[in-house]
Amino acid sequence: MGWSRAAILRVPGSSSVHPFRSTVVAAVAAALAGVAGLGLLSSALSTGEGGSGGDVGWLQPAARSAVVGADGLLHAADHKAASDAATAAADPATAKMMKELKQAHLQSMPPLPVGHLFDRHPGYFTVHTGKGLASGRLLLEVPKAVMDTPFMVLAQVTAGDAEAFLSGVPANTVGRTVFALRKTKGHPDTLDLYRPLMDLRAEKADSPMAASLREGYFPGWVRTFPVRSIGDSYLLDATPWVGGGMDVVTDNDGRPAPLSWERGHRLVGATAYPRNVELDVQMKRRSLDGLGESVVSPENTFSTQVRYSIVALPDKPMETRAADSRVGYFGTSFVSADAIDGGRLKRTFANRWNLANGPIVFYVDPTVPAEYRRTVKRGVEEWEKAFARAGHPGAIRAVLPGDKDWPADYSMGDARYSSINWAPNLGPAYAMGPTDADPRTGEIFKGVVVLTANFVQSAASDVNVAVSPIAKDAPAGDESLWSMESDELQMRARSLRMLAALAADEADDVDAVSRPAVGPSTDKANGHMMPMVGASAAGVMAAVIEQVLRYLVMHEVGHVLGLRHNFKASASMPFAKLSDKAWVEANGTSSSVMDYLPMIVRKNPADQVVYASPTIGAYDYSAIRYGYGDFKSDDARLALAQSVAMTTPFATDNDGAGVTGADPLTSYWDLSGSPLEYHAESMAVARKVLRISKASTAKTAGSPWLDFGVVAQDALWSSVLSLAYATKFIGGVVPSRAASTGSPSSASSSSSPVTLVDVATEKRALSLILRELHPRNGLLGSATVREYGAHMVARKCFGAGGAGLPTEQCLGVAAKPLVSELRTFRGRVLGALLVPSRLARITEATVLGGSRRGLTVAALLRATTATFFGAAPAPAAEVDDLQRDAQAQWVGLLLNAVNASEQHHPLAVAAVAGELSRIHAMAASAAGEDAHLQGLAILTAPFHF
């Protein structure tokens, strides 16, 4: 009876560890000889029930210590004996289980990386890529020495489909990308993949909380790999891991990747280096929610290629530098577990490069068109000036394809190379600069700058490229212009078209304007602008594109260096200096390129000294010094931060840079410390663009009125944005990040961190806004309709979706309903004016300001009503329907505000009700036979007083 014999695990030679040799043959031999489980299973399968073992002599008879009962099952003579492995195999049920376990184990075991099936790539993890029938299989050899050593898994799109997935952008949908492997406790042949705890740390190893953390924390596991031991490594089959997105790429709704390897992924290349492993995977991903008409395939999936990089973290963690809210660095934060002394719990380090590892090098990817590469290089190397001043000359440079130090093994996505990529796209023009940093210290080790080709093409676009719904699904933490309000997405394209229209005034060849050549010609290779006057339109456009590209590269590279946005930076620049060529070339158009700086379009050509900021600014120098300079003491570093707050202040994405934010100096797309002057000039530019574009279209045979329609729309929209931003001065509040200067005088305004916009500036802003809203003479008034309405035609498209998509046919032409469009524009400005947070701020300012006699909500409403009605309603014959339109719109907005009273400050609600009552009285008394005024009186009747 076989039951008396059992499998005692005794493997010949198992006590000796075979030294690992570098050939696959040696690995196979080592595995066969050294892996106990394999020997056992081979034997078990070949001999059925445990095997006699006679041929190999592995199995020995065990002591007879149990008997088979009448039921045919093994009954232990004693409990200990029954549980003994020596007797277990004799029991049919136990043997069946063992057989199943062994088969399952065998099925999960990684195959050996034999040479005729796998190619070997030695590296941090040695990679074996399958070939022939094993094609698509991926084996990794993980050194036993790196157990519990954190590594990162990066994912980057390296070939996109131009709409949903752009080459160069991060592909990971999961923020926590640090992993480690450990031997599974209690299981001989598996490794656990887990995410090491990074967000909660014990700073002092001997603190009571550190001990508590050690006792109480369980890191869990993400997945388990069956492995076999080969010398000093574990061999594992990574095929299903990669197919599942390596636990960093999930489906777009955030669920773990549901697409199986078979259905949605294929490995197309892999290699390894001493500190990183590189895997190329093509995958199908499901369409983004809301992408709607942009879904291009009937399967509702997109195909894309992703580079995964497994990257060793630095052996020696970089020395950290504390972040400071006065100087804007991206940060790495954790909560200190042992700070139980009442101190602050959260620690944040500035993310920065470790210059001890040598200079920061950007590789200009071959996707960047050759004609732009030198411009891109100049944009990168502008930052060298700041490093030089911070004591690190030569700390940053760009390498171009073909340069002698261009790496032979370069590829996009390789974790060793930071790159600048050029992505073809159909959607909005944008750029981004994401980085990867050591979560322990904030050490940045890789950055990517992605520029979309569309920013060049959008100038020449014959349609307004629609804002893609993809914007909603932008990856968290990205730095794209997706974060802007959608109105502003087309800012650059609008400015480009307006510049082109202005240039047309000077140029003979109008066709060259509407279809500008985009390459800078050699006479602009030194980066200086081409003066607009006398230049060809194509030449202007080439200069514009070169300058804007250089600015974009400076901005995105700034992100890769660790810098956050600084939306207050432009406020440090005096308005008058914007037309001082020497000043601008030395100092830029803003104290930082980390602001969203508009393309500059000046009314007076003599003021047009640049189109975009040509260099980094004073804040940028200080910020680089803060992050990278050497300081004798912490006090010296803090003194620098304080001086930044006092001279070139910082404000960022959380500071309300949109039109409803409180601080009028912290805004996207404005310029100078006197934004009202900038906005006022923008209105003048818009009028000029309308006038010139209409005239040049009229006088040039063959010039399409459709193009005038686009440019006119650009001019009006940019005016609306200017007016909307001007509203920020009404009830504006300017906070400061500067620490107390130690001056005890509370009477001194310089010692308090909150400043209200002064009354004169507030009034100036309101009069600018109301002047342009004037229903007769304002830019949004009937004079504009009379002058341009009969010349504005627009394309009408067949099919839904973005107008920029080639699937749409836009052969239709319609007259633009300018009166209706102006109502929409007016509604934007009035909506910004009446936003609940603004009315609340105005109300608070009247208390906070004390003797300051600023605008009240009632005065604001009264002035606006007067703009639309006049001091008293005029006789019907003197009022046109656009004015009536504006009056009805204004009444409607006030009624809406009262209806949404729970959103508004109580005093604002009362003021609005009072204004409606005033309007009612005015309309009722003047109505007579005027049906319009009668109607307004009826609408406002509930407020009859």
- Residue ranges in contact with Zn ion by CB under 5 A: 479
Closest-approach residue to Zn ion (CB): 479
Query: Closer to Zn ion at the Cβ: 386 or 911?
Result: 386
Q: Which is nearer to Zn ion, 479 or 620 (CB)?
A: 479
Closest approach, Cβ 832 to Zn ion, in A, equals 23
DSSP line for 411-433: -TT-TT-EEEEEE--SS---EE-
Please state, in angstroms and rounded to a whole number, the distance separating the CA atoms of residues 379 and 383: 8
Q: How far is the CB of 541 from Zn ion (least distance, A)?
A: 24
Q: Is 684 left (phi over 0), alpha (psi -120 to 50) or beta?
A: alpha
- Name residue, tokens 């109607």: 935
479 or 681: whose CB is closer to Zn ion? 479
Asked whether the beta carbons of 493 and 459 are under 8 A apart, the reply is yes
Q: If 0-12 CB within 10 Å is exposed, 13-18 middle and 19+ buried, where does residue 634 land?
A: exposed
CA distance 110 to 277: 19
Residue 896 CB coordination number (10 Å): 12
First to last CA, the chain: 109
Instruction: Return contacts of 690-697, CB within 8 angstroms, 24+ apart.
Output: 690/715, 690/716, 690/784, 690/787, 690/788, 692/501, 692/502, 692/504, 692/505, 693/501, 693/504, 694/787, 694/788, 694/791, 695/505, 696/501, 696/504, 696/505, 696/510, 697/791
Cβ distance to Zn ion smaller for residue 443 or 479: 479
| Residue 247 vs 479, nearer CB to Zn ion | 479
Type of residue numbered 379: G
The total of other beta-carbon atoms located within 10 Å of residue 902's CB is 8
Look up residue 45 and give its amino acid. Answer: L
> 281: which strand partners?
267, 306
Q: How far is the CB of 479 from Zn ion (least distance, A)?
A: 4
Q: Supply the minimum distance, in Å, between the C-beta of residue 558 and Zn ion.
A: 8
Please report where in the chains the tokens 């088979």 appear, as a residue.
68
Closer residue to Zn ion (CB): 165 or 668: 668
Cα 614 from Cα 612, distance rounded (Å): 6
CA dihedral 754, 621, 321, 176 (to 10 degrees): 90
| Least CB distance to Zn ion at residue 495 (A) | 18
For 671-726, give the secondary structure using H, E and C: CCCCHHHHHHHHHHHHHHHHHHHHHHHHHCCCCCHHHHHHHHHHHHHHHHHHHHHH
| DSSP conformation letters of 12-56 | TTTTSPPPP-SSHHHHHHHHHHH-HHHHHHHHHHHHTTT---TTT
Closest by CA to 624, choosing from 644, 642, 639, is: 644
Q: Where are the alpha helices (DSSP H) in 776-930?
A: 782-788, 818-833, 836-848, 857-869, 881-899, 906-926
Q: Which is nearer to Zn ion, 479 or 546 (CB)?
A: 479
From the list 43, 32, 214, the residue with the least C-alpha distance to 109 is: 32
Residue 597: CB minimum distance to Zn ion, A: 11
Q: Nearest distance from residue 656's CB to Zn ion, in Å?
A: 17
Rounded to the nearest whole angstrom, what is the least distance from the CB of residue 594 to Zn ion in the complex? 7
Q: How far is the CB of 590 from Zn ion (least distance, A)?
A: 13
To the nearest whole angstrom, how small is the minimum distance from the Cβ of residue 369 to Zn ion? 22
Shortest separation between residue 471's beta carbon and Zn ion, angstroms: 15
Under 8 Å between Cβ of 306 and 155: yes
Q: How many CA atoms lie within 13 A of 639 on its CB side?
A: 6
Q: How far is the CB of 557 from Zn ion (least distance, A)?
A: 10
Angle 788-792-795 (CA atoms, 0-180°, nearest 5)? Answer: 170
Nearer to Zn ion, 280 or 479 (CB): 479
**Minimum distance between the CB of residue 644 and Zn ion, rounded to whole angstroms?**
19
Strand partners, 754: 735
Q: How far apart are CA 726 and CA 30, in angstroms?
A: 75
- Shortest Å distance, C-beta 379 to Zn ion: 14
Q: Give whichever of 653 and 878 is closer to Zn ion, judged by the CB atom.
A: 653
Please, which residue, 669 or 708, has the CB nearer to Zn ion? 669
| Tokens encoding 929 | 């036979």
Closer residue to Zn ion, CB minimum distance, 241 or 669: 669
Nearer to Zn ion, 302 or 330 (CB): 330
Q: Which is nearer to Zn ion, 621 or 668 (CB)?
A: 668
- Cβ proximity to Zn ion: between 562 and 778 the closer is 562
Q: What single DSSP character describes residue 444?
A: E
CB of 555 to Zn ion, least distance (A): 6
CB-wise, 508 or 653, nearer to Zn ion?
Answer: 653
The smaller minimum CB distance to Zn ion, of residues 39 and 328, is found at 328
> How near is the Cβ of 480 to Zn ion at its closest, in Å?
8
CA dist., res. 848 & res. 840, Å (int): 12
